[in-house]
Each structure stands twice: as structure tokens, then as C-alpha cells.
Structure 1
Amino acid sequence: MSRPPTFVPPACARGHHLRTARGDFAVLDAVPSGPVHGTAMLLPGFTGSKEDFIALLEPLAAAGFRAVAVDGRGQYESDGPADQQAYAQAELAQDVLAQAAVVGDGPVHLVGHSLGGQIARAAVLLDARPFRSLTLMSSGPARISPAQQDKVKLLSDALTVMDMDQVWEAMRALDPPEDADVNGEDLRRRWLRHNPAQLLATGHQLTVEPDRVDELAAVRPLPVHVLSGERDDTWPVPLLDAMAVRLGARRTVIEGAEHSPNTDRPAATAEALVGFWRQN
């Protein structure tokens, strides 16, 4: 589970609901105080939310980029139905296209973390025109590692027999001691507002996702950026290196970061994103 440093957005950002043709989505919307050089949409990962990008919002806005972090349907403050079919990857990709259509004037820079990267890829493969660039952050070419598949299966099995509060308590009991009190109540509140159907559907997607790298590589001339930490237990870093080569993508490795460079090393991650966007 991603652990944002805080759930309080910076002064440059406001929370609101983005109205689209496919429903309303909760966002954190950070706007530069001066000229705007572009707009970015940030999609969170599995069990995550828009708050996972809080530490990026201020440096991105300070560099002149509007940054809109989005809760997808069924994530935290965005409503979603109890039907797992509503969270099919194609449905979530259509949501992203609808969000991009209203979030700004002209194409947006799309960033997807982990699961969000695979949803972002699916959106681009449906229609690349709304996007100025694509950054896959700690998001690999196909399904997650075997160890992570086992964890997702455990979670999915628990969700079928326990309520969200019971699952939360079970997960917290497994946390290492150093994580026990990190934003505990905020994380619990976020977890309880996730729709279990969304978690079941997207967790399954992570365990069966096919390799679509060649399809993405054929989308020209969209610039692609593969960004990760120097360690990752969800997709091994050498796999991400190879994916970047196959895509002809820019490759950035954030020192000292693991699966969530956006929370592990936000300043370095924001610098890498801005450098990529300024060239595209």
C-alpha cells in the first residue's frame, strides 16, 4: 500500500470533483501561480489514491505545470458501483479519456503509477490524441511478479469473506513495526472508502495483464518515459529497463526509491518529470 507523507494538500492545490461525460471524479488540482507550461494527469496505483501524489504537486506547480491527481472510479473519494464488470480495464481507460477531455486545454501529460500505468497505457492504446506524453511510473510490461500475485490473491480471498474493516485490521497486523503508526487513521479512512469490487477487479487485472509493449511502441510520435526507483518488488528493475529499450523511451531511475518514487523521493521524481515534459 502506498503511504503518502500527508493527506493535506499544499496551498497551491484544491480538492474538487471533475465532471465528465462518464461521471464525477475526485481530484487534487494544483495550479501554478504564474504561466502554465502544460497540464499533467496523475493516476494512482492499486489500493492507492490521488493523495499518493501530494508531495509532487507543489514542485510541479512551481515549475509551471498544472498537476491534476485523480481518484479513479471506486477509489477513495470517487464513487463506483458494486459490480466488478464496471472496473474492467477498458472501462477504466474510457474514464481516463473522459477526464483528459475536460481537464485542460489541449493534450495533457499522462502519468500512471503501477496499476495506474497499465490503465494509462490502455487509454493511450484506445486513443492517443488527448495526450502529449506518457510516463509509466513503476509500472511494468505485463503481470506483476509471482510474489505480488500471491499477495493479491490473499487480499482477494480475504475480501470475499471479510468486510473492509476486518481486512484492514488483518493487514495492519502484518505491517512491520516501523510502519505501524504512519498516517494510520488517514490510511484506514482511505481504505474503508475503496469499493471492494474495484479492488477485486483491478487486483485480478494485475495478475493476468498481457505484454502490450509492442502495441504501445507502435503509437507514434507519443513520447514515453519509464520512471522507477532503484529497487522494485512488483516489477524487477531489469524488466523495466528492457521495457524502456523496447519502447524507445526515456529512462529514469530515482536513487533511494523503491516502488513509489512519488512518495519515497518526491523532489527527485518531480525534477525528472519536469525535465521530460519540458522536452516534449
Structure 2
Amino acid sequence: MTSHPAFPPPPGARAYRLRTGRGEFAAVDSSPGEGRDVAGVVLMLPGFTGSKEDFRLLHEPLAERGYRLVAVDGRGQHESDGPEHDETAYAQRELARDVQAQAAALGVPVHLVGHSLGGQIARAAVLLDHSPFLSFTLMSSGPAEISVSQQQRVKLLRDALAVMSMDEVWEAIRAMGPPEEVGGPARGFGDEEQMRRRWLGNKPAQLLATGRQLCSEPDRVAELAAVPLPMHVLSGAYDDTWPVPVLDDMAVRLGAHRTVVEGAEHSPNAERPLPTAHALADFWDGTRRG
């Protein structure tokens, strides 16, 4: 079934609902041109308050490199349904099982990419079972909880959600200007009404549960380092959510490939999409050669 997205899909991509063993998830899917070989399939997970549209500027350059990109909204996020008030539905293990189901629905092993919160959910999925994945890229996603300054901002959001409607919280966010983890990189991709529709698509329970996860995530780098997958840590040159030296250290601990995208901050996928796409494709090409 075709969805009717708040944001039109980028050229060459289609929006639909990905049917899985754990329900349907809104997806935007693009492939190389007709007659071209597919070098690999990529599954991308957005961050807190984000959506599949956060990757819209990566579709065309990755298709040019031969990669099929499937970006999804997580459970209770933007255009994917989920319970309104049941936070247990958004426990990290449940979200990780969703990722496993999404990969299974695509029918082939995939290159997994998670941005920010999406990276921590993706990490949990890899630790459950790494066999559906060809590689794992943590994009602007760190080893444990977010920085103190971002924890304070997420707490403000959680406190607001406890006493205000989603509409009222949206007006407050617009008035104060969104922090890095509240508002998402797609805020520059659409007009005010599109962004408001995206915000209102989020389920309050999902925001409360995942906000709590961001502020309390333990360091699981040692567990992840034991997983036999090629790994990649990609970030901008500055990041207030997880400082860049923290991401550098995580990459060393993982034995991971490391990319720093100059001129980008927390969302290199949106701020510097071409060098980000090229760095991703170069890494995946390297795993094929390996």
C-alpha cells in the first residue's frame, strides 16, 4: 500500500509501508537505475524526533554508487504507528526486534546505519543477532548516554510532554529553537506545516521512552567489539550530543573505520550529504573487496 507522506520522496525513490513480522513501517526506498547491478542494500534508522526524511539527501548519491537505500520510521515515529501511551512498547529490546524484522522483510543481508538514537537501537539489534547484517555504521551515535547539556534538554521535553499536548509542545519548541536532539535534521527540508505534521506524527510514549534511553544508555562498546562485523563510526567535526573525542575513542575500542565529515555537526547526512554518502559507499565497497 502506498502512503501519503508529509514530505514527498526524493527523485527516484518511492514511499510505502514495509510489511514485516512485527507490523508495518513507513519507508522511503530508492535503487540504482534500471539495468544496473545493486552493490548492496542499506537500512537506515533515524534519531530522536527524527524520521526517514533525515536521509533524503543521501538517496541519489548512494543510488549513483549502486546502493539501494531503505530508510524507515521506527515504531511510533512520524508515519509508523505505535501505542499512544504504552511506554513498554518502546523498550529498546522491542525496537531492536523491529529492526531485525525490517531487515528480514528486505530479504537479503543489509548494511545497517543508525543515526544518533537510531545508532543505539541498531546496536541493540546487532547484539541480539548480527547475522542479518553485512556491516554496521554508527552515525553521530556514541558509546553511552548523551552529554549533560543534551540530557537537560531532553528532560525539558519529557517534562513538557507530561503536562502539555503535542501541539502545545510543538509551539514551545519553535519558540525556543530546537536542540540538536529535538527537532531533527529534516527541519530544514520542509515548510512549517510539514514540520508540524511530522512532529504530531510522533507518539508521546515513544518520545518519553526513547528520551529516557538516551539519558541512561550504558556503555556496550566491549560487547559490540566482540561482534564479527565490519564497523564504521561516522560523525561531523563538532557534536554536542556526543563530543567528537568520545566518538574517536569509541572507534578505537571497536577497531572501526573512522570518518569525520568536515563542515558538519550532529547531522552530516543533512548538513554535508555528498561527502557523507561517498564515505558510506567507500566503506561498503571496502567490505565487498574484503
Aligned CA RMSD, in angstroms, stands at 1.5
1:89 corresponding residue in structure 2: 92
Report matched runs for 1:89-238 at 5 Å. 89-105=92-108, 107-175=109-177, 183-220=191-228, 222-238=229-245
Amino acid at match of 2:168: Q
Amino acid at match of 1:116: G
1:233 and 1:247 map into 2 onto residues whose CA distance is 21
Q: How many residues align?
A: 271
Give the gaps of 5 or more residues in structure 2.
1-5, 179-186
Amino acid at match of 1:191: W
Amino acid at match of 1:237: V
2:155 and 2:164 map into 1 onto residues whose CA distance is 14
2:107 and 2:62 map into 1 onto residues whose CA distance is 16
The share of aligned pairs that are identical, in percent, is: 68
Q: Give, in angstroms, the shift of residue 19 of structure 1.
A: 0.4
Amino acid at match of 1:37: A
1:256 and 1:232 map into 2 onto residues whose CA distance is 11
List, as ranges, runs of 4+ consecutive aligned residues in structure 1 with deviation greater than 4 Å.
Answer: 179-182
262, 273, 277: which one aligns with 1:255: 262
Q: Give, in angstroms, the shift of residue 180 of structure 1.
A: 9.6
Q: Give, in angstroms, the shift of residue 12 of structure 1.
A: 1.3
SS of equivalent residue, structure 1 residue 252: strand
Report the TM-score when normalising by structure 1: 0.94
Report the TM-score when normalising by structure 2: 0.91
SS of equivalent residue, structure 1 residue 228: strand
Q: Give, in angstroms, the shift of residue 171 of structure 1.
A: 0.6
SS of equivalent residue, structure 1 residue 214: helix
Amino acid at match of 1:100: A
Show CA shifts across 1:205-248 (max 9, x none): 0000000000000001x000000000001000000000000000
Amino acid at match of 1:189: R
SS of equivalent residue, structure 2 residue 18: strand
1:226 and 1:198 map into 2 onto residues whose CA distance is 26
Mark the CA change 1:156 to 1:14 in structure 2 (over 3 Å): closer, same or farther.
Answer: same
2:170 and 2:145 map into 1 onto residues whose CA distance is 25
1:279 corresponding residue in structure 2: 286
Show CA shifts across 1:156-200 (max 9, x none): 000000000000000100128xx8996322111100110010000
2:79 and 2:177 map into 1 onto residues whose CA distance is 25
Query: Is the contact between residue 7 and residue 190 of structure 2 (CA under 8 Å) also seen in structure 1?
Result: no
Amino acid at match of 1:104: G
